[in-house]
Amino acid sequence: MELSIIIATRNRAQSLAKALDALSQLAISFDSIEVLVADNGSSDATAGICDMYGKMFPHFKYIFDPRPGQLVGWHRALPESSGEVLAFIDDDVRPTPGWAAAALECFESPDIGLATGKIIPEFEEKPPLWQSDLVLSNQWGMWSALWCMLDFGEEIIEIPADFVWGSNFLIRRNALIDAGGFHPGGMPKHLFHFTGDGDVGVGRLVEQNGFKTLYHPAAAVAHDLPAARNSSPDEIQRWIFGEGLVTSYVLMRRLAAAHPELKPEDLIPLVAETINPQEISNIGRGYLKSNSKIPDDLQILFNTCGAEGFQLHQEHFKNDASFRQWVLRPSYLDIDACYTHPDLVPAET
């Protein structure tokens, strides 16, 4: 098998159907690809959608695991996949017909470990004007973390691993395994503090291991943005709060690596020496233009939510030994071994 396409999903059957329909129209032989859907405990029509669309593919697997979080979907599907190239995509994206062929083309050179392509936002409604302040540009092109938009032009170019995101995450199998797999990704609201640096974290490790990262414009996906997500301050609050959680997660892992002689609980006093209050209050502002004119209520969210997420993560790290073990795990590949915290174990039914 050349390519394994992996979709982690939960209770978004309608979006998943659109994604699978798009995959069924790929301009590639289906004998060389497989599709795996990892269901993190859906109670909607997800299983039925998979039963229907699964018949369209000669190689299709549906995996159900009620444990929460993207990490479960990613790492339950990984050992069930067989492709040398792995494509992790979200259930709200629709790959273009040439996406799979371009994905495989990215890895023709053995020094390429990661790849991505265009991520094109498709809005249910026109976004508010202020959101243009979250569309940034750099030497490669344009991007927006809020929209999960990426447009680095029409040429195949080498880029930093930080721009390979879960909406369109292409990786060489051995590079992922050598990096120890993904770090924790998205979590349900009541477990949000278990979030880590997910896709970006493993991308950085792959890069540190000597692999290069490629952008291929033809490896493109459309990303559906519903009106509720695109115009609600709640989405900004969730997003920036999550950045605070991730900042703390990354910091504690770096401190643990730099001070292996210390017990995890003894890392807490080092936090104030490593990151200052101004840096904490600025969490998330790197996604805004420097001269941003966003509305006052959103400005308040940017000024407060990142710090709130950071402090919540710090409190759990300080007070919960099992949480410290979760944050500092060297690898999350073995789901059974790392999903031991009582809050992550589904209740018996």
Predicted confidence at residue 287, as pLDDT, reads 87
Predicted pLDDT of residue 300: 86
Single residue among 184, 213, 230 that ends a domain in this structure: 230
What is the DSSP annotation of 137-176?
A: E-SS-EEETTTTEEE--SS-EE--GGG--GGGEEEEHHHH
Q: 266 with 216, same domain?
A: no
d(CA 257, CA 43) in angstroms, rounded, equals 40
More confident residue, 189 or 328: 328
Residue 42 has pLDDT above 70, yes or no: yes
- Predicted local distance difference test score (pLDDT) of residue 295: 84
Describe the strand order of the beta sheet including 93-95 as a list of residue ranges.
93-95, 221-225, 119-123, 149-151, 142-144, 136-137
pLDDT tens track for 282-316: 998 888 888 887 888 888 888 899 999 999 999 99
- Considering the entire predicted model, what is its pTM? 0.95
Report if residue 332 sits inside a domain: yes
Are both 143 and 245 inside the same structural domain? no
Residue 349 belongs to a domain: no
Same domain, 297 and 162: no
pLDDT at position 348:
57
Q: What is the pLDDT of residue 349?
A: 44
Last residue within a domain, chosen from 230, 251, 276: 230
Helix (H, G, I), strand (E, B) or coil at 113: strand
Could you give the CA distance from residue 245 to residue 307 in angstroms, rounded to a whole number?
Answer: 9
The reply to whether 88 falls in a domain is yes
Q: Is the pLDDT of residue 337 over 50?
A: yes
Segments forming the whole domain that contains residue 252: 232-344
Name the residue type at position 98: G
**pLDDT tens digits, one per residue of 224-271:** 998 776 666 788 889 899 999 999 999 999 999 999 999 999 999 999
Q: What are the beta bridge partners of residue 94?
A: 222
Looking at residue 231, what is its pLDDT? 60
Q: Indicate which CATH number applies to the domain containing 25.
A: 3.90.550.10
pLDDT score, position 345:
87
Long-range contacts of 234-237 (CB under 8 A, 24+ apart): 235/146, 236/146, 236/298, 236/301, 236/302, 236/305, 237/301, 237/305
pLDDT at site 91: 96
Mean pLDDT in the chain? Answer: 94
Average pLDDT, integer, range 96-113: 98
Whole-number Å distance between alpha carbons of 67 and 73: 9
Instruction: Of 229, 193, 207, 131, give the one whose Cα is nearest residue 163.
Output: 207
For the segment 46-53, the average pLDDT, to the nearest whole number, is: 96
Instruction: Report the C-alpha gap between 268 and 321 in whole angstroms.
Output: 13
Q: Report the domain count for the chain.
A: 2
Final residue belonging to a domain, choices 179, 205, 230: 230
Q: Are 253 and 312 members of one domain?
A: yes
In a domain, 79, yes or no: yes
Output phi, psi for 341, to 5 deg: -60, 135
pLDDT of residue 319: 97
